[in-house]
Chains A and B, each alone.
Chain A
Amino acid sequence: MPKVTMTSHLYRFFPALEGLEIRVSAGSVADALAELNQLAPNFSDYILDDTGALRRHVNLCINNELIVDRKKLSDQLGDEDTLYIFQALTGG
């Protein structure tokens, strides 16, 4: 099952996730975020905007590659992949 790793900044809002090894089902990034949302209600509101697209100042990577589809989050996660969630180096 794919693994999810996230910036520690998000533990401030979702302390229940801290220290967890998070595994989700293989599938699209959108599916993975839906599973994360079940684990931590409202989690996706911190990652996605009102239209369901990735927030401007948030990046997602599958292994070492930034995802391509920031609007529909259709990039696919394989069993051995890791999804990284982190803040883009903008803002302050």
Chain B
Amino acid sequence: MSNLLILGTRKGTVIIDRQAQGWVVRPIEHAGIPICYAARDPRDGTLWASQDNGHWGAKLSRSKDNGASWEDLSSLKYPEGARHITQRPPLPDDSETDSQVELAYQGASVYKIWNITFGTAEQPNRIYAGTIPGGLFVSDDGGDTWALNRPLWNHESRGGDLFAGDATSQNHWMGTPASMDYGIFEPGIHSIVADPSDSAHLYVAVSTAGVLESRDGGQTWQGRNKGMVMDYLPDGEADWGHDPHFVTACKGAPQYLWQQNHCGVFFSDDGAASWRKVSDTDSGVHFGFPVAVDDTDGRTAWVVPARADSHRMAIDGGIYVARTTDGGETWQSLRTGLPQQHAHDIVLRHALDVSGDMLCFGSTTGNVYLSENRGDSWECLGHNFPPVYSVRFG
């Protein structure tokens, strides 16, 4: 059972401790700075926060004293020569075809550090960070220095070796609307899954490209989008162009993976070799951002459904969490303790977490809800937080 919650919010890092009298919110850290992701490294207790500082750039912040003090790190940078094919945002009155648009390249710069994931116990100093514009960074010294994973950056699916020269293939990684905040239209890595049982085994999810897997510690990557479907492209079963909102795996049984995608909820029981859609549109389980999976039972997962696509609001003004215990064959709607009218909360991709029997989520409307019985009932930890970007148990 966890005794700590760490939230990334639009106005800073919020830490909530479980004490004798209940959950107690500390004074906010990084006050005024958007924190797009915050988490505690379970291996050594270091707290991490990804600062999304509009003027001064994306920075990681680290606390080695449980949040009493923080240090900003500036070492996460693209190496010289890293560049990418510049994406052009689709326009409503677009009349140009791709073949008419001249290929352009751009030097890479870190706009957003969207996710931080900790390595296995066998690699105690390894940390991963995923960025917009689609870089996977790796640290082997606890975050002091970072290196770009070049095989993924130079993957055939995004144009080939762009360090060496011109593109050798077409770029299939599109741009996420999240990157428009930075005046660009580039993909982003928001999910990194480090297999606890095999430190050479990784997954990343790219918005808007899909899922990739490495079995050799990141030296080679293969697309893992079989069974995925898209309802917004002419070829809905293409290898690339998928829009996972979040991908996670069961810690105790990592062959079970879950994906909350723009086009549905997807489940894999074979290590992402294949996916199958497990949406239940009758109960609203289809569109959403986060997904959480039980620590030991890979067939049990939770999502927070939303009304797609042009609205992106709670369904019928009521918040609920949906739970499956059979790999998505059936879903239960859990509403006890959650507002069922006049609620317009959206829960973003990193803003739902599970730890044992506890679940917690935070919304863009600044509400944070906790369940200590696997979602059967919920209590509110506060209504007036800034918009919540991430929620993680520590």
Interface residues of A (CB under 8 A from B): 9-10, 13, 42, 45-47, 49-51, 53, 55-58, 87-88, 90-92
Contacts and interface: CB of A to CB of B under 8 A. Distances in A.
Contacts of B55: 9, 55, 57-58, 87-88, 91
B42 interface: no
Interface in B40-83: 54-57, 59, 72, 74, 77-78, 82
A50 B77 contact: yes
Nearest to A71: B107
Nearest to B184: A56
A36 to B, nearest CB: 14
7 contacts: A46-B57, A50-B109, A50-B110, A53-B107, A56-B182, A87-B55, A91-B55
Tell me the dominant secondary structure on chain A's binding face: loop
A55 B183 CA distance: 12
Interface in B71-106: 72, 74, 77-78, 82
Contacts of A51: 78, 107-109
A18 to B, nearest CB: 16
Given A13-B72, A50-B77, A50-B78, A45 B57 contact: yes
Contacts of B57: 45-46, 49, 55
A42 B109 contact: no
B110 A55 contact: no
A87 B57 CA distance: 12
B200 to A, nearest CB: 28
B56 A50 contact: no
Contacts of A50: 77-78, 82, 107-110
Given A49-B57, A55-B56, A58-B55, A42 B74 contact: yes
Contacts of A53: 107
B79 to A, nearest CB: 8
A44 to B, nearest CB: 9
A92 B109 CA distance: 20
A51 B108 CA distance: 7
Contacts of B59: 45
B314 to A, nearest CB: 25
Q: Closest 6 interchain pairs by CB?
A: A91-B54, A45-B74, A49-B109, A51-B107, A46-B56, A87-B55
Given A49-B109, A50-B108, A51-B107, A57 B54 contact: yes
A15 to B, nearest CB: 12
A48 to B, nearest CB: 9
A87 B78 CA distance: 23
Nearest to A47: B56
A13 B82 CA distance: 28
B15 to A, nearest CB: 20
Given A50-B78, A53-B107, A55-B56, 17 more contacts: A42-B72, A42-B74, A45-B57, A46-B56, A46-B74, A49-B57, A49-B110, A50-B77, A50-B108, A51-B108, A55-B57, A57-B54, A57-B55, A58-B55, A87-B56, A88-B55, A90-B54
Interface in B110-137: 110
Of the candidates A53, A58, A88, A91, the one having the most CB atoms from chain B within 10 angstroms of its own CB is A91
Contacts of A87: 55-56
A51 B57 CA distance: 13
B54 A92 contact: yes
A58 B57 CA distance: 10
B264 to A, nearest CB: 34
Contacts of A58: 55-56
B57 to A, nearest CB: 6
B361 to A, nearest CB: 25
A13 B109 contact: no
A90 B57 CA distance: 13
A86 B339 CA distance: 44
Contacts of B54: 57, 90-92
A76 B324 CA distance: 65
A56 B183 contact: yes
A29 to B, nearest CB: 17
Contacts of A13: 56, 72
